[in-house]
Structure 1
Amino acid sequence: MYPWRDPSGRFSFFKLVVFVALLVPGVVLLWPVIAQGGATIPVKEAILQSGDWTIRVLLISLLITPLRRITRFSKLVQVRRQIGVAAFCYGMVHLGLYAISQNLDLGRIASEIVLRIYLTIGFVALIGLAILAATSTKAAMRRLGAKWARLHKLVYPIAVLGALHFFMQSKVDVSEATLMAGLFVALMLYRFAHWRGWSLRSAVTLVVIAVIAGLATAGIEYGWYALATGIPAGRVVAANLEWMWPLRPAWNVLLAGLVMVVIYPFGRDGAGRAMLSALIGAGSRPQHSRGG
């Protein structure tokens, strides 16, 4: 019931930090809307930011499993549901702000969702997140049994729909959408490698995944500009071959993958795992009573 308690009911500093970290972006993006009484410009900006944070948090939830395998730190699983529910909450904030921008005219909102394909895609993704959030409890897991795992694999097509919605509403500048799509590819490659029996605690495997994901990201950006815009795709290819600042999405995805190569040694020995446990498990140890 309380997001700062571990499965045994004890206070977890790690879970509290994650809970607060998930709240902060929401507070930051909603504060201008509240402070200015729902003025048009803050609402429009908050719509975009809440959509961005929905896909970001969703991808963070998908990162938990491969990161646990890479680091061998099992406590990461304790925050996976919390992060997944947060993604749904940001999606609802995104929809709520859009409704405010339409003066809460339900008829108009419904017609816009039906007539505008990118809104339809986003709404379907949000319904999917609602289903996953509603069935994320232990009671739902017991009730659904083996079906629960199959149901929650919907998170993958939901992420694809979310990325597509992001691309379509971004119009010309799709850098952020491309980055999210590339990170999703990397997350799927980690799962594919595990399914094939390739160790995620191998530097070679992690480097190969980083390189493939980076190249795939460049390919996604090229494909989008080639098919959906009038911008010459060749210019995008040339930009991806250059080291520039800010970095192109492909370089960011590559570097994010290489970070995993730096992280994985912490899971190779007991000392590294003990250090990770001490860093994020503080506060969750049982309290010993005095005296007696």
Structure 2
Amino acid sequence: MAAITANRAYLDVMKAYSTHIAPYAPWTDRRGVLSWFRLCVFVALLAPAAMIFFDLAFGPIRPEPYENALHESGEWAVRFLLVSLAITPLREIFRWGKLIGVRRMIGVSVLAYTLVHLGLYMAQENGDLGKVVSEIAFRFYLTIGFVGLVGLVILGATSFDSAIRRLGRNWNRLHALVYPIGILALWHFFLQSKSDVTVPTVMAGLFALLMMYRMARRVGFTLANPAVLAMCAALGAGATAAVEYAWYALATGIPAALVFQANFDLAVSIRPAVWIGLVGLGVSVLAGGRMLWTLGQERSARIGA
């Protein structure tokens, strides 16, 4: 009798899960079926947050206990923002339709990490809400960061299917805000990084490369074409060098010309512009390899027929 009761309870739990939870769980597809790809992406999105809070709880004692976690959460928010922007071009380049299924999940994670970033800043200020508000109002880099957060909240609140249906074509116009939000996030990153802006410059370069892909697509080029991707790589590298030069010229006392010249001297270091060029060319090579493989498969199919 006890076994029958336990079995019924198990069946009731599974029925409730499949009816109310599974269709909305991030690790399932639209049918409510477990997707290992989505589950892996979900775990990957959670992993940095777990490491941040583990370090807070069990890591070394620091003079500013929240400083490291604050920077880490902000950097991961920017990283995942770039990943979300990469989904559409990568899906077209590599013809991988499953990527579109995780774009919303990644976008929501950007909002989550940004909220964690704000929460850690509040904790750093000992929960003094008045001071937090005044700092956001009077410190420019905090102001633009907060404006970006407000934009992310708007996008997050309208990321559900019901909002998409209600807004119709306006949904795409509204979610185009992600591009100025990305610029604000990178600007905020530059301003708080002070003199060493290598990491934000690399991220700005990746953003520029992704924008090159979108511009190429908008004017009619096919992103699966390796030559188009190579052209985007060159333009992205040039944009990265220009951003770095502009930063050092306008915001620091470091000679911008010397920094720009370092892009051509690989013996010193590999500058962000070079890294962006290499990443873009790598995507081009992979796309070319995929194209050759596809042509080979089609040829084999014709011979076999």
TM-score normalised by L of structure 2: 0.85
Matches within 5 A, 1:221-236: 221-236=244-259
What letter is aligned with 2:111?
A: F
- Measure how far apart 1:262 and its partner are: 2.5
Alignment of 1:169 with 2:192, yes or no, is yes
Structure 2: 5+ residue runs without aligned partners?
Answer: 1-23, 298-305
Distance 1:237 1:199, change over 3 A: same
Q: How far apart are residue 127 of structure 1 and its match? A: 0.8
Partner of 1:254: 277
Separation in 2 of the partners of 1:267 and 1:143?
39
* 1:191 maps onto 2:237 in alignment: no
Secondary structure in 2 matching 1:87: helix
- The alignment-based identity, stated in percent, is 48
8 Å contact kept, 1:32–1:42: no
* Alignment of 1:98 onto 2:151: no
Give the distance between the partners of 1:91 and 1:244, measured in 2 at CA: 37
- Residue 90 of structure 2 aligns with an amino acid whose one-letter code is L
**2:151 is matched with which residue?**
128
The CA distance in 1 between the partners of 2:156 and 2:60, in whole Å, is 30
The aligned amino acid for 1:202 is N
Paired residues for 1:234-249 under 5 Å: 234-244=257-267, 247-249=270-272
Aligned residue number for residue 87 of structure 2: 64
Q: Distance in 2 between matches of 1:8 and 1:40?
A: 50
Q: TM-score, normalised by structure 1?
A: 0.89
Q: Deviation of residue 163 (structure 1)?
A: 0.5
1:72 Cα deviation from its structure 2 partner: 1.1
Judged with a 3 Å threshold, the aligned counterparts in structure 2 of structure 1 residues 196 and 117 are, in CA distance, closer, same or farther, namely: same
**Partner SS state of residue 115, structure 2:** helix
Larger radius of gyration between Structure 1 and Structure 2: 2
CA contact (8 A) 2:205 2:237 kept: yes
Structure 1 contact 33–43 (Cα < 8 Å) conserved: yes
1:73 aligns with 2:73: no
Separation of aligned partners in 1, 2:108 and 2:282: 26
CA 96–189 in structure 1, closer or farther in 2 if over 3 Å, else same: same
Q: 1:246 to 1:46 in 2, by over 3 A?
A: farther
Per-residue CA shift, 1:133-189, capped at 9, x if unaligned? 111111111111111111100000000000100111111001111111111111111
Tell which has more relative contact order, 1 or 2 (C-alpha 8 A, sep 6+): 1
- 1:11-69 deviation line (CA, Å, top 9, x unaligned): 10000111111111111122121236996534101111111111110010000000011
Q: Does residue 218 in structure 1 map to residue 263 in structure 2?
A: no
**Aligned-pair CA distance for 1:271:** 5.9
Contact 1:4 1:13 in 2 (8 A): yes
Q: Do the aligned residues in 1 keep the contact of 2:225 with 2:288 (CA within 8 Å)?
A: no
- 3-state SS of paired residue (1:19): helix
- Alignment RMSD, CA only? 1.9
1:147 corresponding residue in structure 2: 170
